[in-house]
Structure 1
Amino acid sequence: MSTIVRRPPLLFPATARHTATVIFIHGLGDTGHGWAGAVENWRRRQRLDEVKFILPHAPAIPITCNWGVRMPGWYDIHAIDGNPESLRRNEDEAGILLSQAYFHELIQQEIDAGIPSDRIIIGGFSQGGAMSIFSGLTAKVKLAGIVALSSYLLLSLKFADLVPKPEVNKETPIFMAHGDSDQVVNTKLGRMSYDLLKGMGYNATLKIYEDMGHSACPEEMDDVEAFLTERLPALGSTEAKPEL
């Protein structure tokens, strides 16, 4: 396999003291810039001033369902036809594990910079959401939360065997969201993934948005902001106050 060339992620520094980090991962064919507007939206009410946002860019790789044309992707996909089984068939395990290692590296870089792992959230949309579930639940450090929009559980047939022991993220809240009209990552696959996670004992919730396809909506963005704010509450300044 040729060497993967990665661009540095798009960064939104915390506007106050940096105490938490959100890594948000885009979907197939997109870049981190595609979610810059969403980050601005989440920051607009100034509830996330202590949060640094990292928006990674996927490398350009050949995508089988796109006739092998190279495009930004976290792993190869053989078919996108709305069939919930298609995305589970012939999964690109090598590509998934390569991206997983990259996201674990990004998490570790934040820890090395002084951010506790339980003040880090990983999330994403479509392929990015799928990588967030997979990378988050297989991390060896306890995270604050996982966000998975319009996505699904990768390598579901062998997932339980890929999770390291002890499972430090067994209780980590997972916010899953899906449109009821999604014809790309079929809503049925989203529900199936949620059921699988719940069946394995994970702390997942699923919200379905009416008349939403493979996209996002303002209500969903507000729900994500609420999840981030709940899981990453502001800590305030740690500077000692002068004695009176």
Structure 2
Amino acid sequence: MHRLAPLVFPAAGTRHTATVIFAHGLGDSGHGWAAFVENWRRRQRLDEVKFVLPHAPEIPITVNMGYKMPGWYDIAALGLSAGQLRENEDEAGLLESREYFQKLVQQEIDSGISADRIVLGGYSQGGAVALFTGLTSLVKLAGIVGMSTYLPLSLKLESTYIPKPASANVNAQTPIIMCHGTADPVLPYQLASMSRDHLVKLGYPVEWKEYAGMPHTVLPEELDDVEDFLRKVLPPSADGKTEL
């Protein structure tokens, strides 16, 4: 499968000690999130953080009548109920994207960034991949960000994909932030809140942010909340051993 190299924003300061890998939604590209990253960089509150914005490959999307578009996995239809979504999940596609994101994480580790200074995040479909990859990762991450998204493969998560034994689940206490609008017609609020409840039931620490009347989009307030989360889980390094 052909994949373009990710869009990369080096750390804005003199030190690179942390990395955020952020996945776009269906039909978009990494460029669609460049302006948001540039805004965070201008505010100079995440100066030690490198941002990696990967591009999804073009794949046939069922909801798009089978025509190819950038996607992390296939989508059968939009606006599905939780039950319908579970019956139509593209498990193979999710696993393939998880493998790709695991490689991106490993590339950062190989370059000298500790896994616990890496955040996986994403919006919509990209957020689903970020949640799934982060929760099933074999390396301890700093945090996971899910915006306007849901938890995929939730019925199989604990039985099939969460590392076992319990001591191997290194991300059992990894901070998670989930942000969602109450008027989202694409991924309904109920679906997101059910995902949150499922994660809380499994013992994961979830910070929940909801935005009254927000459809399937992004608000400045939401971006501020995500920035605050990143600052909390990726504080400035005491020694800054990793130099640009």
Q: TM-score range by the shorter chain?
A: over 0.9
Residues 61, 68 of structure 2: 8 Å contact kept: yes
| Structure 1 residue ranges without an equivalent (≥5) | 240-244
Offset at 1:236? Answer: 5.5
Equivalences, count: 236
Q: Which of the numbers 206, 222, 227 marks the counterpart of 1:204? A: 206
Offset at 1:81? Answer: 2.5
Residue by residue over 1:173-221, the C-alpha shift from the partner in whole angstroms, topping out at 9 and shown as x without a partner, is 0000000000000110000000000111111121110110001100000
Give the TM-score of the pair, scaled to structure 1.
Answer: 0.94
Map 1:11-90 → 2, pairs under 5 A: 11-16=8-13, 17-90=15-88
Residues 58, 74 of structure 1: 8 Å contact kept: yes
Greater helix content: 2
2:163 counterpart residue number: 164
Residues 176, 204 of structure 1: 8 Å contact kept: yes
Residues 21, 110 of structure 1: 8 Å contact kept: yes
Percent of aligned positions that are identical: 59
2:59 corresponds to which letter in structure 1? I
Distance 1:162 1:83 in 2: 23
1:132 counterpart residue number: 130
Residues 181, 211 of structure 1: 8 Å contact kept: yes
Distance 1:34 1:238 in 2: 30
Looking at CA atoms only, which structure, 1 or 2, has the larger radius of gyration? 1
Aligned CA distance change for structure 1 residues 43 and 65 (closer, same or farther; 3 Å): same
Residue by residue over 1:122-169, the C-alpha shift from the partner in whole angstroms, topping out at 9 and shown as x without a partner, is 000000110111000111000000000010111111111211121100
Q: Which of the numbers 136, 160, 180 marks the counterpart of 1:178? A: 180
Residue by residue over 1:52-108, the C-alpha shift from the partner in whole angstroms, topping out at 9 and shown as x without a partner, is 000000000000111101000000011112534333222111100000000000000
2:140 counterpart residue number: 142
Structure 1 position 9 matched with structure 2 position 6: yes
Residues 77, 87 of structure 1: 8 Å contact kept: no
Residues 20, 115 of structure 1: 8 Å contact kept: yes
Give the TM-score of the pair, scaled to structure 2.
Answer: 0.94
1:170 corresponds to which letter in structure 2? A
Aligned CA distance change for structure 1 residues 5 and 237 (closer, same or farther; 3 Å): same
Distance 2:101 2:223 in 1: 23
Residues 12, 41 of structure 2: 8 Å contact kept: no
Offset at 1:25? Answer: 0.4
1:235 corresponds to which letter in structure 2? S
| Structure 2 residue ranges without an equivalent (≥5) | none
Distance 2:67 2:240 in 1: 51
Residues 11, 49 of structure 2: 8 Å contact kept: yes
2:111 counterpart residue number: 113
Where 1:224 maps in the other structure, the secondary structure is helix
